[in-house]
Amino acid sequence: MTTLLQINTSLFSDQGQSSQLANQFVRQWQASHPDSAVVTRDLASEPVPHLDAQRFSAFLAAPEARSAEQQAIVDYSDALIRELQQADVIVMGLPLYNFGVPSQLKAYIDHVARNGVTFRYTENGPEGLLRNKKVYVFAARGGLYAGTPLDTQSDYIRHFLAFIGIDDVEFVYAEGLNISADAKDAALNKAHDEIQRLAA
């Protein structure tokens, strides 16, 4: 059975444009893969705590030296990582906020990037430990940024995923959503066409 993990990062949960695109893809993907399982993580309705010294220290502590509070922090991180480990396909809804990724996504990344768990350091440099996964990213933007220096998201997401071992990543962009009604309609129609192709 194939498992799909959907990660929505919009502040507006299912009401965000990126979430709606991701939701549409997942619905059509399920129709094409009826024996699949879908796990959904909404970072707005279930926010991941931002990384602080206490949480980072828990990750660094030796297992036998962890306090009960530190162990609870590690257990929470392990649960997030387990979702990634068990997923064959990962779908991400990704809005652009002030030229970067949503802070709730950064918090999530800080909890799943764990040395010795999702990556490890070797004599040849870091090695990702999550492999054989496909990622679809549905990026919604108010302006036009793809392919320009202002698009800090795409490379950041690609670099992070590669760091933990995932290099099969495909982006679908819906841009210019705040420029005009016509621009929004054109961008969403183009994204919907891409979803039809990818989810088949």
Q: pLDDT tens digits, residue range 55-69?
A: 999 999 999 999 999
Q: What percent of the chain has pLDDT over 70?
A: 100
In order of start, what are the domains of the chain with their CATH numbers? 3-199 (3.40.50.360)
Contact 93, 26 (CB under 8 A): no
User: How much is the pLDDT for 82?
Assistant: 98
List strands edge to edge, sheet with 89-95: 37-42, 3-8, 89-95, 134-140, 168-174
User: How much is the pLDDT for 37?
Assistant: 96
Contact 163, 128 (CB under 8 A): yes
Measure CA of the first residue to CA of the last residue in the chain; give whole Å.
17
pTM beyond 0.75, yes or no:
yes
User: How much is the pLDDT for 1?
Assistant: 86
Q: Is the pLDDT of residue 200 over 90?
A: no
| Cα torsion through 191, 193, 195, 197, rounded to 10 | -140
Contacts of residue 34, Cβ cutoff 8 Å, sequence gap at least 6: none
Mean of the per-residue pLDDT values of the chain:
97
pLDDT band at 140 (very low <50, low <70, confident <90, very high): very high
Q: Any idea how long the chain is?
A: 200
28-32: list long-range contacts, CB under 8 Å, 24+ apart: 28/195, 28/196, 28/199, 28/200, 29/4, 29/89, 29/91, 29/199, 30/4, 31/199, 32/199, 32/200
For 57-68, give one letter per residue: b (16+ CB within 10 A) or e. Answer: ebbeeeeeebee
* Residue 10 labelled as part of a binding site: yes
Lowest mean pLDDT among 3-7, 130-134, 196-200: 196-200
- Percent helix / strand / coil, the chain, rounded to 5: 45, 20, 35
Rounded to an integer, the average pLDDT of 13-23 is 97
Q: Which of 81, 76, 77, 91 is nearest to 5 (CA)?
A: 91
Rounded to an integer, the average pLDDT of 36-50 is 97
Looking at the DSSP assignment, which residues form a beta bridge with residue 173?
A: 139
